[in-house]
A and B are shown apart, each in its own frame.
Chain A
Amino acid sequence: MSTRLATGGRLIDRARAVDFTFNGKTLRGFAGDTLASALLANDQMMIGRSFKYHRPRGVVASGAEEPNGLVNLGLGPAFEPNARVTTTALFGGLTAESQNHWPSLEFDIGAINSAFARFLPAGFYYKMFIHPRSFWKHIYEPFIRQSAGLGRAPKNRDADSYEHFHAHVDVLVVGGGIAGLQAALSAARTGAEVLLIEQTAHWGGRAAVDDPVIDGTPAAYWIKTTLQTLESMPNVRLRNHMMGAGLYDHGYALAHERLTDHAPATPGPRHRLWRIRAGRIITATGAIERPLSFAGNDVPGVLLASALRDYIVNYGVSAGDRTVVVTNNDDAYRTAIALVQAGLIVPAILDARPQADGPLVRQARDLGIRVEQGRGIAKVQGRRRVTGVAICAQAGEGAVLEEISCDAVAMSGGWSPVVHLWSHCGGKLIWDEEQAMFRPDATRPPLGADGQGFVQVVGAANGHLRTGAVLADAADAADAAVLADAADAAGGEAPVAQDAEETPMAPVWLMPQGASLKLRQKMWLDFQNDVKVSDVQLAAREGYESVEHAKRYTTLGMATDQGKLSNINGLAVLSSALNTPIPQVGTTTFRPPYTPISMGAIGGAARDALFQPLRRTPLQDWHEAHGATFEPVGQWRRPYAYPRAGESTHDAVIREVKNTRQAIGLLDASTLGKLIVKGPDAGRFLDMLYTNVMSSLPVGRCRYGLMCSDNGFLIDDGVVARLSDDTWLCHTTTGGADRIHAHMEDWLQCEWWEWQVYVANVTEQFAQIAVVGPKARALLEKLGGVDVSKAALPFMHWAEGTLAGIPARIFRISFSGELSYEVAVAAGQGRALWDRLVAEGAALGAMPYGTEALHVMRAEKGYIMIGDETDGTVIPQDLGLDWAISKKKADYLGKRAQERSHMADPERWTLVGLETVDGAVIPDGAYAVGDGVNANGQRVTIGRVTSTYYSPTLGRGIAMGLVLRGPQRMGEVIDIPRLDGSIIKARIVDPVVYDKAGERLDG
């Protein structure tokens, strides 16, 4: 059984007991424990069930690479699934639940999948669930969703807060082991600003556990003094609990800082996402030990050799009394030695190598440990935990030579450098035959804007597994990293280190090498996704030669651990099955983040009121105070209607339309884009931008214009006013203000840079209020100060003056067909003007109206709306707007495109009005159908509805639509099906269904 030892544990404080619960059971650990070490100390060997077969699983690692130990952590608003027990610091009151089992961890019904494992091979889901098609939605998918997945999705609102922080440094060092400490020190000594980050709470990495000698002192002492030196340097910043999550181009790095996970009562954000720009990046991310592939390597109690050692040295926790060590390298002997020195029993070290005789091997033998060479594990005995191992010859097929009873197995298949960050941004790898590992190829680094590499990898991450080499590599690389910037490097000499000589490792991808299919079906490559050696071999036989395809087919290396333990073993098996060398098979792509980061951290402060900026007009407070319902238009929220007590929104729209047509409506039009275009070439510029002529517009006049992209499609419309000889004011749609401003600058800066034109976006300088309806003139006259008579201010003119004491510009333009003025005043005076209009207008029947009434009224007049009648595929000619397209101009943006055969095709659908025979309102987005079917066997369509409303003015449904040869078919009745299959009969009519003669414009 696993237990807490009487002594030892450099990271725990035995004086401070900490209570926590696991699956409702109260357990006790110590301050400094991880959840993993605390669970093991309580003999909680089994921690979860596997993804597919629901096999019992325990911790296999001690750090970020852990694939099995995932739990639901916390309750309610603090709930989080898939918390990794090896990186979760223990705190008082911690609540954890195991995942992926039903009804309980001990008895799980899904484990029956395990009995049928041979029926669930690689690609099973693809093969099984494809037929019959109709079964997918109602049978297969619900079944898979029930049985798959790890943690539960949180249901509560997250109680914690998060934030971002942007940092700029000369050198970012990722990883606080001895390589990172040394690299930071060397870089800092050159005067560079250095940020050193470490994902765990502790500095020193593995050296702190194995304690080699550095500069004649124990590594622990060297770590402590180096840390003190770094802390004393003003140009160095150190942050722990902070993981380097991803590296990107241009020296950009993301890091995830966990501020309160280990101390939930601490005020402030829980996580902070760091967005770092670094001149140079040094990754010192260490290496991860690989499992060995033997039958039953997933049984709880089988751990990585280094992890087992970590639990003893760091936490004083043993995984078992009797531990068999199985290895292909010398490093695992350190675990055997540590176990014996802790007073535990190592019945045997099974070394797959035919011979090995380094100092560590001799030390183990001298301690009286039985060392068996050329041997491996044929099979692990036990189901919920290890009870023993069967030994075999590594060279054979798995014939059992001997059975040894034990309750833990320490395995080591060698080490894989953590090359993730290097690879994120394009660094290449080479296969190191001697150490059987992929390591960074320093000749092919990720390249920065200057064509030089901007990332360097040092230490174990660079393939150096011995202490002396790690430190020398770190010192050298840090010098080189800064050399590019600093005139002379002063990084100093690398420390001298001594650790045991090691004999070469031997790659072991299968144990035993000639294992039968029965054994291979029990050899787990990917613990988290239940991928076995036999699955990868099957994928290869079925033709999956690319490692990327094999990954998707088998799920090897997916999910939260992204194959940190399984990738190299998996591709080695694939390589062997394909009879292709490992370097040719290659690795799958390493993608950020290194380990999962919280969604909260990604969002940062962007939640609640800050989720998205909401733009507010100068009148927004009034709208909110007067019960408006809103609709989003870009990032504005415009009043949709102003329902009164007892009114539905629909009722309000009807009232607002009728009132505007009969008395006065007031509209907040402040959101409309307003662009000032000025300069000697401004007229010429606008003639290119609009389809009609703007240069000829007299000062004091307004003209409606259309703007197209260079592909000919209609992108915006609005009224242009000429303010002076060289200045025009272009109104855009609400959503078009920023887009059209950018469009103008694009053409001015990139194409017509020699034209003398300046543009300024003054949208927000003005509050703009539309005063609309037959009594609009009377209201403005009541306010006084500007002559708004028909003679003084005719339709499509503008005037400036002081209205109600407020400097104003008044445009006689109409989007409703009624007498209409749009009054623009400085934004800061907008509310004052609005209040006056409301107060003085009350006696005349003035009421505010919203965007829906605006839409209904413009549709009654057959006016188009960008985004309704247009969708990026519509040209002005489709909308019958030929009158607004100049035939005389030599060119305008879109002209050439509109002359192409498809654009000039008479078969293009064209805008018409649609009048339902029975007065019904056509559903939004409906299509008109013709006779027969098309080449794909689909019903022929002959048109679609672009705008459809109930018209309070006419008392029936009105619509506009694009219809095949529509204008030639006036009076024809066409069929428009509803979703339920019933047909609406609609007659093709003129789009203008109200005041065709325009008699109401003058009031």
Chain B
Amino acid sequence: MAEARAMDVVVAPAAPLGMITLRGDLAALAPVCAAVTGAAMPGVRKAEVSGGRGIVWMSSDEVLLLVAPADVAGALAQIGTALAGQHHLAVDVSDARAAFTLTGPAAREALGKLTPTDLRPTAFGPGDARRSHLGQVAAAFWMAQGGAVTVVCFRSVADYMLELLRVSVAAGPVGYA
């Protein structure tokens, strides 16, 4: 077998993230989300993330809150207090997930091998978030202002995801940018 060419992208496990799944009426959740993450409520299929803190839109009644791992318990308590008597669900999912970052100009093309999502710059750019699949497993991903992409998947398939990304990058560029 011929040796593989690398693509201009680096895949790495992300720094540990505190993650909270929060479900409810998004408009009503906005103040406490802002208080906990310092971020504004993102629009549909958008992410408001910076420095490992922020909010990722998941569905019309669900967001993923990102906080420092040590702040999860406090954030859950804060949410519970702020939303007392209001129908919602908040759970810690920090340990349920694994996260990776793709940094470099070829991030889009590397992901294009794995997801049916439209990744054209006109369709997916900084601040955009998607729930889709990469290879055979579910994944969510969003692009930061600098173009780096964070990928989140279930913890149990972390090894699969890392190998999938590694193989895709090692196979070399498609040349379709």
Chain A residues packing against B (C-beta within 8 Å): 159-161, 163-168, 193, 237, 260, 265-269, 272, 275, 277, 605-606, 609-610, 612-618, 636, 676, 678-680, 756, 758-760, 762-766, 826-828
Closest to B168 in A: A605
Q: List 17 A-B contacts (CB under 8 A).
A: A164-B113, A168-B118, A237-B176, A275-B116, A277-B116, A610-B163, A613-B137, A680-B87, A758-B24, A758-B61, A758-B87, A760-B21, A760-B93, A763-B96, A764-B95, A765-B94, A827-B155
**CB < 8 Å: which of A164, A168, A679 contacts B87?**
A679
Given contacts A613-B157, A636-B156, A827-B95, 4 further A-B contacts (CB under 8 A): A166-B117, A269-B172, A613-B136, A758-B23
How far, in Å, is B115 (CB) from chain A's closest CB? 6
Pick the most buried of A164, A193, A613, A614: most chain B CB atoms within 10 A of its CB. Answer: A613
**CB < 8 Å: which of B23, B97, B112, B167 contacts A166?**
B112
Interface positions, chain B 82-114, Cβ under 8 Å from A, are 87-89, 91-97, 112-114
Q: Which residues of A contact B114 (CB under 8 A)?
A: 164, 166
Does A676 contact B91, Cβ atoms closer than 8 Å?
yes
Does B2 contact A268, Cβ atoms closer than 8 Å?
yes
Does A267 contact B96, Cβ atoms closer than 8 Å?
no
CA distance A324 to B37 in the complex (A): 83
Does B89 contact A676, Cβ atoms closer than 8 Å?
yes
Does A762 contact B136, Cβ atoms closer than 8 Å?
no
> CB of B174 within 8 A of chain A?
yes
How far, in Å, is A673 (CB) from chain B's closest CB? 12
Does A616 contact B156, Cβ atoms closer than 8 Å?
yes
> CB of B164 within 8 A of chain A?
yes
Interface positions, chain B 8-49, Cβ under 8 Å from A, are 21, 23-24
How far, in Å, is A668 (CB) from chain B's closest CB? 12
Interface positions, chain B 134-177, Cβ under 8 Å from A, are 135-137, 154-160, 163-164, 167-168, 171-172, 174, 176
**CB < 8 Å: which of B3, B89, B93, B123 contacts A267?**
B3
Given A164-B113, A277-B118, A610-B164: A766 touches B2 (CB 8 Å cut-off): no
Q: Which residues of B contact A827 (CB under 8 A)?
A: 95-96, 155
**CB < 8 Å: which of B88, B155, B159 contacts A758?**
B88
Closest to A618 in B: B155
How far, in Å, is B126 (CB) from chain A's closest CB? 18
Chain B residues packing against A (C-beta within 8 Å): 1-5, 21, 23-24, 61, 87-89, 91-97, 112-120, 123, 135-137, 154-160, 163-164, 167-168, 171-172, 174, 176
Q: Which residues of A contact B167 (CB under 8 A)?
A: 605, 610
Q: Which residues of B contact A612 (CB under 8 A)?
A: 136
Q: Which residues of B contact A164 (CB under 8 A)?
A: 113-114
Q: Which residues of B contact A260 (CB under 8 A)?
A: 2
**CB < 8 Å: which of B118, B163, B171 contacts A268?**
B171
Does B95 contact A765, Cβ atoms closer than 8 Å?
yes
Q: Which residues of A contact B154 (CB under 8 A)?
A: 615, 764
Given A267-B5, A610-B135, A678-B89: A161 touches B171 (CB 8 Å cut-off): yes
Does B135 contact A268, Cβ atoms closer than 8 Å?
no
Does A269 contact B160, Cβ atoms closer than 8 Å?
no
CA distance A612 to B135 in the complex (A): 9
Does B135 contact A606, Cβ atoms closer than 8 Å?
yes
How far, in Å, is A22 (CB) from chain B's closest CB? 25
How far, in Å, is B45 (CB) from chain A's closest CB? 15
How far, in Å, is A671 (CB) from chain B's closest CB? 8
Q: Which residues of B contact A275 (CB under 8 A)?
A: 116
Q: Which residues of B contact A168 (CB under 8 A)?
A: 118-120, 123
Does A165 contact B91, Cβ atoms closer than 8 Å?
no
Closest to A272 in B: B174
Does A762 contact B156, Cβ atoms closer than 8 Å?
no
Does B112 contact A265, Cβ atoms closer than 8 Å?
no
CA distance A265 to B3 in the complex (A): 9
Does B87 contact A166, Cβ atoms closer than 8 Å?
no
Does B172 contact A267, Cβ atoms closer than 8 Å?
yes
Query: What 6 A-B pairs are tightest by C-beta distance, nearest first?
Result: A615-B156, A758-B89, A267-B2, A827-B95, A765-B96, A764-B96
Does A765 contact B93, Cβ atoms closer than 8 Å?
yes
CA distance A135 to B92 in the complex (A): 66
How far, in Å, is A501 (CB) from chain B's closest CB? 43
Does B113 contact A613, Cβ atoms closer than 8 Å?
no
Given A159-B1, A267-B2: A760 touches B156 (CB 8 Å cut-off): no
Q: Which residues of A contact B117 (CB under 8 A)?
A: 166
CA distance A417 to B80 in the complex (A): 68
CA distance A163 to B110 in the complex (A): 11
Q: Which residues of A contact B176 (CB under 8 A)?
A: 165, 167, 237
Q: Which residues of A contact B116 (CB under 8 A)?
A: 166, 275, 277
CA distance A618 to B156 in the complex (A): 8
Closest to B154 in A: A764
CA distance A827 to B93 in the complex (A): 10
Closest to A679 in B: B87
Closest to A825 in B: B95
CA distance A828 to B168 in the complex (A): 28
Q: Which residues of A contact B23 (CB under 8 A)?
A: 758, 760
CA distance A165 to B4 in the complex (A): 17
CA distance A275 to B158 in the complex (A): 25
